[in-house]
Structure 1
């Protein structure tokens, strides 16, 4: 997935807007200047202010030559990036910012080939793929016509032997001496109506659907059939057998009834959907560390009945998520998976291992090609050893979907695939949990990203052109920096207002800082981050202008 792909609007459900009613929707009367300087050796007086500030564009830093005709400044928000690195810098040239080189972690296995989703548009398929799709459609149509997809419900389990004996004893007739004979009632005859039964079978076949999509009713069927074909390397007969087995399993498992069943919310922190990636896929988080809670673990795996209930809940969660996808050709019909292995119980837990194996088997057999990417974060050493053992048995297609990262690279890795406003706070982003409340910002409010180099001070200047109320939130992933905020008025006789005194932030501090300020005169807000460490830091911030209220 391309890192530079713009974040589209969510395909499933529009993000709920948390904007307050007093927000001024007119162009914001501000501009933003991000200034970087060496925190120890360079002062502002030593660096000359360029006549024309460089304008930041996506993926590159461009400095406009003075000889060129400059376009008029935009009326809303101007984002200007100015880099000062030394006092001896005499001129500034036009250049493209270097893309950060991917850091290679020898301990983390990575696939040499990155998976790219194939198109589900028939016109984009190769000739052989189109032929296979057509053959599979024909097989499915023939099976529907001959009712080969109609399966009888499984027989009820036989009662225990003790229960049979007890039932027989209770139902045994009691013989009374000299009692008059009671004429036995004739057994009612069940009339057979083969024509009616055939009509019901035909009606059931006509209404046959998978994941809420009726088969062979529209072009969404092609998307479904392509999933089975790709899972079986476009071997038509194998794909047809897989479809038939899936339909049979869905009926035996009672999927359509399961979707509406109330199984509680005991595991809502174990598996949950949150946000979208940069290509519009909904993101599913699997948090294995939640099973360290003995109560949560016992409710899921303490006995066979609880394991069966957890499996039903997990399948219900997946089924509900899939039914929200867009199965039209060109739509988003896969899910981005994030697997958090922090504090995972590990392979020593036999009950968890058995349940995981059972769930994986069900998902592989009946939910093909629903994963766009599998990202494993906070990967422990034992999982790397486990993956090394099973890697030779995985197909290249499967391995190309896997991404592994250690604890120190979690946020950096997720930001390659998701915008920070879509990433939950606990994983380095600025998106709060849906159960929490953030009245000022939502996932529809974009986040600016700035890399703070080692031993440098980064200043974000928000220039205010009229009276207003401004709110902002800011974080540096992992902190270990100092953060301060102040308002500097434009008037020479004005006084600087310290909004947030420069304070050292430790990794254990609150991950996100939120501030607000009522601007009664023209000036600028300065947000300063001082990074004294030898490591680069990722600064995330966003702000919003509201109408001025006395």
Structure 2
């Protein structure tokens, strides 16, 4: 039975003030909330000129395909007079600043590409990239606003053998591009296509160890495919573990990006993944490799988030544990390299504090801590995280269950 009477006290802290480091200042300058405001797709929210453009685009479609023509995208019949069709058409209009002729041209090219690429059936294909599933590109959870989240990490391709196996020739490259489109199509399958609903996804791209020169060809192909055929499908683009040479990488892509696309970017320097992702995604939905609690030992409970400043020790106290109860907890700090310990403190006078986990250094490569303890008497559990050897603030999260 879960104990619902176990309040968590405010963490005790023993701060050692430091001046902001250059890295922290730089991180603050490059990690920001995107100014992008997502479209609601309510017709009543449109300007009169935008309503007119929408009707003109519908008229263009009807003139080209006729009332009995087949014109479907992502399972939405575009000639139907309903809100789902309006959402899809507004995506193309928004991508071309409501210029009807340009929007119609883009829509026609996209329909032709989807037919040639057989995009409607790609989600069900077996393409044989098991080693890339859950590593290179994968859907994982939702952000705080309900958008499905797609994670991308290309660091595995720094291995030359892996790179040759996946990108060794044009046929292999095209097969990879098809697989990457498959991941995207599956993500789009989670969308509502409904005014006021969830109509786009969040992309998280991990730039750690990414071999930018080798992946230039594949990246350009993907960027072109996404921009031409998936308008307004990304609500936010979060770059994490951004290396010092990002400016050169960004300049390579920048000419191909619209100002609206750039407004969706969130940049986070290397080592600040957890702190950045927590702003947009609940810690229990962030993968463990990025400082979250979504992993193999998932307790399926909401988590509490905290920060550990440079030079600070934080004590997380879980109160009200009865005798004979078992407490199970998970704890993670993004980037770790901290001291961690856990102890049980009985309430009774004369009882001894029990060292459940002795103080140890947790390396940056370690993921979430998962442990349990059964108490013989009533007391509290104290989880200690010590960041006294670093000047850098780090983000963490924890959750627990107490059962009799």
Q: For residues 473-509 of structure 1, what are the alpha-carbon distances to aligned partners after superposition, in whole Å with 9 as ceiling and x for unaligned? A: 112333343222222222224332221122233435x
Measure how far apart 1:390 and its partner are: 5.3
Q: For residues 25-51 of structure 1, what are the alpha-carbon distances to aligned partners after superposition, in whole Å with 9 as ceiling and x for unaligned? A: 5x61211113424379xxxxxxxxxxx
Residues 108 and 384 in structure 1, CA contact (< 8 A), matched pair in contact too: no
Q: For residues 164-193 of structure 1, what are the alpha-carbon distances to aligned partners after superposition, in whole Å with 9 as ceiling and x for unaligned? A: xxxxxxxxxxxxxxxxxxxxxxxxxxxxxx
| Residue in 1 that maps onto 2:368 | 512
Q: For residues 104-140 of structure 1, what are the alpha-carbon distances to aligned partners after superposition, in whole Å with 9 as ceiling and x for unaligned? A: 4289767897211121111111221111112212222
Q: 1:242 aligns with which of 106, 109, 114?
A: 106
Q: For residues 451-471 of structure 1, what are the alpha-carbon distances to aligned partners after superposition, in whole Å with 9 as ceiling and x for unaligned? A: 233333322221125342110
Residues 5 and 320 in structure 2, CA contact (< 8 A), matched pair in contact too: yes
Superposed counterparts of 1:462-541, under 5 Å = 462-464=318-320, 466-467=322-323, 468-508=325-365, 510-533=366-389, 534-541=391-398
Q: Residues of 1 paired with 2:59 and 2:183: CA distance?
A: 32
Q: Does 1:229 align with 2:229?
A: no
* Long gaps (5+) in structure 2: 18-22
* Partner secondary structure for residue 92 of structure 2: helix
Residues 111 and 399 in structure 1, CA contact (< 8 A), matched pair in contact too: no
| Residue in 2 that maps onto 1:293 | 159
Residues 29 and 466 in structure 1, CA contact (< 8 A), matched pair in contact too: no
Superposed counterparts of 1:132-531, under 5 Å = 132-145=53-66, 202=68, 205-206=69-70, 208-217=71-80, 218-266=82-130, 267-268=132-133, 269-347=135-213, 349=214, 352-388=215-251, 391=254, 394-432=257-295, 437-438=296-297, 441-442=299-300, 445-464=301-320, 466-467=322-323, 468-508=325-365, 510-531=366-387
Q: Residues of 1 paired with 2:253 and 2:380: CA distance?
A: 57
| Residue in 1 that maps onto 2:45 | 124
User: Per the alignment, do residues 391 and 363 of structure 1 end up closer, same or farther by CA in structure 2, a change over 3 Å counting?
Assistant: closer
CA RMSD of aligned residues (A): 2.6
Q: Residues of 1 paired with 2:7 and 2:356: CA distance?
A: 19
Measure how far apart 1:103 and its partner are: 5.5
Who wins on radius of gyration, i.e. which is larger? 1
Residues 305 and 395 in structure 2, CA contact (< 8 A), matched pair in contact too: yes
Q: For residues 426-453 of structure 1, what are the alpha-carbon distances to aligned partners after superposition, in whole Å with 9 as ceiling and x for unaligned? A: 1111211xxxx32x513xx222122233
Structure that is richer in helix per residue:
2
Residues 34 and 458 in structure 1, CA contact (< 8 A), matched pair in contact too: no
* Partner secondary structure for residue 408 of structure 1: coil
Q: Residues of 1 paired with 2:253 and 2:335: CA distance?
A: 33
Residues 111 and 400 in structure 1, CA contact (< 8 A), matched pair in contact too: no
User: Per the alignment, do residues 390 and 476 of structure 1 end up closer, same or farther by CA in structure 2, a change over 3 Å counting?
Assistant: closer
